[in-house]
Structure 1
Amino acid sequence: MIIRKYFSGISTLGVLALATEKFALLPYIVEENTVEEIKKVLDVPVTQLNVGGCSLIGSLCVANSYGLLLPNIVKDDEVELIKNFLEENDIDIQIKILNSKNTALGNLILTNDKGCIISEELKGFKKDIEDILNVDVDIGNIAELPTVGSNAVATNKGCLVHPLADDEELEWIKDVLKIDCIGRGTANKGVTSVGACIIANTKGAIVGGDTTGPELLRIEEALDLI
């Protein structure tokens, strides 16, 4: 299932939220009825919070079914909220605060439950990321851009990538993430940073409300949601 949404009028959903096969994290600005829709589409428990006192959860954090990486600006009460939410839903994953000067971890890391690609800017944390996310990590760019998390969105079945990614990059991403489906595309009427516009898992996707019909078709195909 795939639906179009705005979060308080904002269409860059991937900047504000993240989703995995086990849970989703949303900012407080998301309305209650939208939260309930997201629970149904992704079929996972959901909680709302801030990270570092702001709503940019998708840009600041990254997660899969094994681990959650948080930036060093996260507050103690925010970490406690996450831990309580995971415990209440019997979700056993590792949590680690990454002491990197780059706090936009979600923009710099692309992962699923099978593999991970990180920006060169995080190469010094490769071992930490591998240990927490429990996957092998490769270092590289997508469409010559270091913001690999912003320029692709991946699940355990597929990946939608920046439209200027070349064939060699697509094959590399497929190999690292161990997926069968991959495709180029945009969202929100031509936005190339698709990871900033979409949250998804293998059960469904929530895309920015400005996304067009043809863009939806490409998203569905690339993420194998048809």
Structure 2
Amino acid sequence: MDRTLSLNGDPNIGVFARVFEDIAFVPVDSPEEFGSKIAEALDVEVIPTFIQGSSVIGLLLTGNSRGFVVSGLIHDSELELLQEYGDVLLLGEEMNAAGNVILTNDSFAVVHPDMSSAMRKMVGEFLKVETVPMSFGGVGTVGMVGACTNAGVLLPARSAPSELEHLESSLPTADISVGTGSVNMGSNLIGTGLLVNSKGYLAGNATTGFELGRIEDVFGFL
């Protein structure tokens, strides 16, 4: 099947949707075809919603199998919907765009280097993972710079060797593949153009064949 997708012509699909192992959240106003392709490619139940009344769900929501981390400015009805599917941690105003500042799976969470120690501790205890404050390619918005599953982590090609080494040394298991690449014809903001779980992936429709090959290699889809 075609592994690329856009939202109304915009290839930055990771800004607008957030995918987990069994569910995905997409904007209420997104076309039916957008959710249908996500459901088919990643074998998930697709749930339409907004976060903070906004369609940029990928920027504001993240999490792992233990629960969701989301902006504390979320509307009550949106929060109630999330709680139907799992536990929810609300971030305070200090740094509340959870999907922007946290990159996590079931083993670790990389967080924005400026995140306070108190917030790091809160996130780590909720997700039951170790938190690692760092940046990639000098960019601290790790949730949009990278993408990860329990099998692999894809980081921007401009990441420094020392950053990759630091992440690899921080991982609790050597079974997680770490690699570099890009999306959407050279964009280093991997998370903005990639939706991925253990069952499949979709990349922005400007992503090249070479870039798709790197995604498949790092996440073990070859």
Check whether TM > 0.5.
yes
- Distance in 2, matches of 1:130 and 1:20, equals 18
Match of 2:209 among 196, 209, 213: 213
Alpha-carbon distance, 1:2 to partner: 7.0
Letter in 2 for 1:225: F
The match for 1:164 is: 158
Alignment partner of 1:68 is 2:68:
yes
- Distance in 2, matches of 1:76 and 1:203, equals 32
Matching of residues 1-226 of structure 1 within 5 Å = 3-84=3-84, 86=85, 93-123=86-116, 124-177=118-171, 178=173, 179-226=175-222
- Distance in 1, matches of 2:113 and 2:161, equals 21
CA contact (8 A) 2:70 2:99 kept: no
CA contact (8 A) 1:94 1:132 kept: no
- Distance in 1, matches of 2:170 and 2:2, equals 25
Further displaced range: 2-11 or 104-113: 2-11
- Distance in 2, matches of 1:180 and 1:74, equals 32
Letter in 1 for 2:56: L
Further displaced range: 95-104 or 156-165: 95-104
- Distance in 2, matches of 1:118 and 1:211, equals 26
Percent of aligned positions with the same letter in both sequences?
A: 30
Alpha-carbon distance, 1:175 to partner: 4.1
- Distance in 2, matches of 1:68 and 1:143, equals 27
The match for 1:89 is: none
- RMSD (Å), alpha carbons: 1.7
Residue correspondences, number: 219
Alpha-carbon displacement from aligned partner over 1:141-177 (angstroms, at most 9, x marks no partner): 1112211111110011111101111233223323444
Letter in 1 for 2:180: R
The normalised TM-score by structure 1 is: 0.90
- Distance in 2, matches of 1:147 and 1:180, equals 21
Specify which structure has the higher proportion of strand. Answer: 2
- Distance in 2, matches of 1:145 and 1:33, equals 33
Alpha-carbon distance, 1:135 to partner: 1.0
Secondary structure of the equivalent of 1:55? coil
